[in-house]
Amino acid sequence: MKEITLPIYSTTGEEIDTLKLDPAIFDGIVNNAAIYQAICAYRANQRKGLAATKTRGEVSGGGRKPWKQKGTGRARVGSIRSPLWRHGGVVFGPHPRDFSYSIPDNIKKLALKSALCAKVNENNMIILENFKLAELKTKEAVKVIRNLKLNTVKNILLLLEEDEKAQKIALRNINFLNFNLAKDTHAYEVLDSKKLIITKEALGELTKRLKK
């Protein structure tokens, strides 16, 4: 199995070192079936399932019979909220439901591993030594993106090793950048991004997570 080596960049955009990726994770194989299952499950779990219509029994009014059963020459009607009438109930309309379901953890791991391999194969993964900003301000975070020559990319995912409140405040105003912890990321998030930036420490944590 051929080892893959990627450069490590500083926040100034300079290549300062290289890193050999773990061949047990970054083997270049993309399992499309696992990715499909993981993404379908993720998107189903995001659905609210709140669509609702009222049956004839739930529509307000209609308790009194509009006219007597016989002798009028008209069709018999029991309620003005019949589905056949305007403003009546709905027969087979949607009702609130839960669309979520789970898939095995090994399929989730395989899908995430495949998503990462796809990013490496496409040359769309960048490793940072760290993401320490001179000042915890949005303009400093944007400067790092510009130093990496990614300021024209519209959808970037940044994976970090730790959750710092001040760092989140600096990053949340960048509309083309999404960020998450390496321990919490998933296949859909990785594949949805155009470029993946990950710190060296976060990559180590992600590798350990996938090898468990």
* Lookup: tokens for 130: 């760290």
What number of CA atoms fall less than 13 Å from residue 195's CA on the CB side?
16
Residue 49: per-residue pLDDT: 93
Q: How confident is the model at residue 165 (pLDDT cuts 50, 70, 90)?
A: confident
Residue 172: per-residue pLDDT: 87
| Percentage of the chain exceeding pLDDT 70 | 100
Q: How confident is the model at residue 152 (pLDDT cuts 50, 70, 90)?
A: confident
Q: What is the mean pLDDT of residues 186-197?
A: 94
Burial 59-85 (b: 16+ CB within 10 A, else e): beebeeeeeeeeeeeeeeeebbbeeee
Spatial neighbors of 81 by CB under 8 A, at least 6 apart, are 56, 59, 61, 62, 87, 88, 89
How big is the chain by its Cα radius of gyration, in Å?
A: 27
Instruction: Check whether 1 has a pLDDT greater than 80.
Output: no
The residue written with tokens 């949005």 in the block is 138
Spatial neighbors of 20 by CB under 8 A, at least 6 apart, are 3, 4, 5
Instruction: Check whether 197 has a pLDDT greater than 70.
Output: yes
What are 3-54's pLDDT values in tens digits?
Answer: 889 999 999 999 999 999 998 899 889 999 999 999 999 999 999 999 999 9
- Residue ranges and CATH numbers for the domains of the chain are 5-40+104-211 (3.40.1370.10), 48-98 (no CATH)
